[in-house]
Amino acid sequence: MKLAYLISLVLTVLPFCHSLVLVDSTLASACIYYELQYDWGCKSHSNGMKAYACRCANINWLGTVTNCIKNNSDSKRLIDHALRHLSTRCLQKGNFHYTVDDLYRFAENGTHYMRDPTEQDRTVTVNTTLNVNQTDYDWYYKKFKDYTFSVERSQWFGWGLVFYWAAIIGFATFFNICKRVLGHPFVNNRLKKHLVLPSTFRDYRERTYLLCNVLPLNFQTRLNGLVVAVFLILTIISCGVGYELTLPHPYLTTRWYANLTLVSYRTDLLSISLFPVIYMFGIRNNPLIYISGISFSTFQFYHRWCAYTCVVLLFIHSIIWTVYAIHGGGGYKVWAMDSYWNWGIAATTLSVLLVFHSEKLIRDLAYEVFLVMHQFMNIAFIIAMYYHCVDLGWLGWIWAMAGILCFDRFMRILRIVISGGVHTATLTDCGNRSVIKMVMKKPKYFKYVAGSHAFIYFLSPTDSWYYFFQSHPFTILTDPEEDEKNPDHLVFLFKANKSVTKAMLKKILKSGKPTVTCKVLLEGPYGVTLPKRVKDNRKVVAVSAGQGVCAVYPHLRQILSSNQTGEFRHKLVWIINDLSSLDWFGLEIKWLRDRQCDVTILYTKADDRDLESSSLESEVKESKHGVKRLYCRPNLQKLISSEVEQASKESVDLTILSCGPASFNDDLRHSVVSSMNCDLKISVDLEEESFTW
């Protein structure tokens, strides 16, 4: 797996190859445009398609240009490169298949007929090979050298955005190594309180805020918001500086056209440079998660904002060339005849659709549609960009993007194969027609740590065909009655919400049996980062709501199994609104209590129907598990403050684990931030497991 991660990192440097094609040879461009001043019998002094094809068929023009190239450089490498440039242009413009050796022969043949140019050659067809006026040529060369530098500068601005994200990953990796390997976190309570933990907008972190009750907005922490804000500022600066090309110019004949061209190059090279970043941040098998410790949900946040920025830049690029085609390029219909133009329109349209249908509101309403469409449109976008750039250059970025996507798919298949392929899983309704318990045999080579999760594919020929394309992440649990270090089975507890999980519940209920079997594919484990090399002496308080207990339990189990208890007791606070939850998680609760973990279960449901139906069985269940009735939601602020105060009295550092619905996680995060006073002598950490991204 680690070797595969290294392969993915290599894919990100592919853009170094073939970065420039259209303006890659200053030598060739200067010679080609220098010779435009003479009449070669093509009834044009421009570089249009017909005129270019006409000149490529003219042996006198070929002899003149190739001799210009040979005589103005002492480097065989530069000469060969310039001749390849000329060969490519003749192939693209006129379908002439000239090799470099052919062009050398044209140059050799032309030396026998060379003469100095005259003023008459500008209006009368030239029927021989012309020498170069060195003074005139030097001006052309300088202008194209400046132009090439301007384009290369745009490319380096694009690399600047890539290097910015590389720096962010580098800093995160440094702090991750310091924390997990060296035991020096370097982040104090003040930074956590004011930068690392709080949301950028009030206490909205996982919940969606409706602006004017219409526009849905999602927010991240201040730290992640700052990272994105700096990225946006760098992008704006990169778009607005460094335009120093002066006129007159043999190619950029007017200031209007020069501005359009240079801004277009800048925006498209900035956007295309972000392609590998967007795809690397968005894939499931992102190796940067392992080394940096940045969560998958945070990478998804970066992924979306890079995509937003990229689409805006692509849109500006498209608008610029549309305006030029209509007002200065001979009319839109002329440009629309070129295939690269149409592929560019397709790529821009696909990029807008990819961003629009990826919004959380769309994902929540129709996740299956989002999943299938996102996969197919990603492939279509890569194809469209390839055909758009195949004649223009910069294919290295496209290959990097395609390579990252293929790497992710390869790693998914590899994980499934290593995990044993198709498995038979036992599905059990936990009694409340809501939670399903899935148990399967643990594959031999399936190694996981606390907090890991796996993606499950449900294979059922009787269900909807598109269910196969879905893979849902579930936290991996260990049966309390099995050995923690060498379990025989994998246990998953998940809520039958909608889509395929709802279909599995219907399958159980329809069978009339307590359990059914189902064929599944297991892909994982995920959620693994650098292993801790230092022993933590921290008190852990896990606060969970409902199904969230499945995410915090493995961490507590690992700590208690390794005897990392110190002079204090770890604690679990589980908030439920359905007593049947005790049926499907009762054994795990007993396991924790047997190992001196302080378990508090808070029951919050208090409607009349519940009170009337309170039976002897429920009372026994409450008494057995020590359930406390609150009849309302608990005061998380008071709960967290008391835990921080208690840890402070014990002079022990505190880690708070949390997992639950979006509103619960947001309230708890806000409570932790509010409880961290500047004069606090202990370190307080928040580790949050989230169901949303």
Tens-place pLDDT, residues 363-374: 777 777 788 888
Q: How confident is the model at residue 606 (pLDDT cuts 50, 70, 90)?
A: low
The predicted structure's pLDDT at residue 611 = 47
Closest CA to 642 of 630, 628, 656, 632: 656
pLDDT single digits (tens) 243-254: 888 899 998 888
Closest CA to 266 of 152, 387, 118: 152
The predicted structure's pLDDT at residue 608 = 45
> Among 1-5, 204-208, 301-305, 404-408, which stretch is predicted with the lowest mean pLDDT?
1-5
The predicted structure's pLDDT at residue 20 = 43
d(CA 535, CA 686): 18
Q: How confident is the model at residue 11 (pLDDT cuts 50, 70, 90)?
A: very low
Task: Print burial letters for 603-642: b (CB count within 10 Å at least 16), e (below 16).
Answer: bbeeeeeeeeeeeeebeebbeebebeeeeeebebeebbbe
Q: Judge contact between 499 and 467, C-beta under 8 A.
A: yes
pLDDT single digits (tens) 517-576: 999 999 989 987 777 777 778 899 999 998 999 999 999 998 888 765 556 789 999 999
Q: Give yes or no for residue 16 having a pLDDT over 70.
A: no
pTM of the complete model: 0.89
Token representation of residue 334: 């002329």
Backbone angles phi, psi at 116, to 5 degrees: -75, 145
- Collapsing DSSP states into helix, strand and coil, what is residue 218? coil
Q: Give yes or no for residue 242 having a pLDDT over 70.
A: yes
Fold (topology level) of 419-526 = Elongation Factor Tu (Ef-tu); domain 3 (2.40.30)
The predicted structure's pLDDT at residue 621 = 61
The predicted structure's pLDDT at residue 284 = 92
> Among 3-17, 114-128, 212-226, 533-547, which stretch is predicted with the lowest mean pLDDT?
3-17
Cα–Cα–Cα angle for 456, 458, 463, rounded to 5 degrees: 155
Architecture of domain 538-689: 3-Layer(aba) Sandwich (3.40)
The predicted structure's pLDDT at residue 693 = 63
Mean pLDDT of the chain: 86
* All structural domains of the chain with their residue ranges: 2-17+143-415, 39-125, 419-526, 538-689
Give the alpha-carbon dihedral of 206, 207, 210, 213, to 10 degrees: 170
Q: How confident is the model at residue 278 (pLDDT cuts 50, 70, 90)?
A: very high
Q: What is the mean pLDDT of residues 466-491?
A: 79
> Among 99-108, 261-270, 578-587, which stretch is predicted with the lowest mean pLDDT?
578-587
Secondary structure of the chain: what % helix, strand, coil (to 5)?
Answer: 55, 15, 30
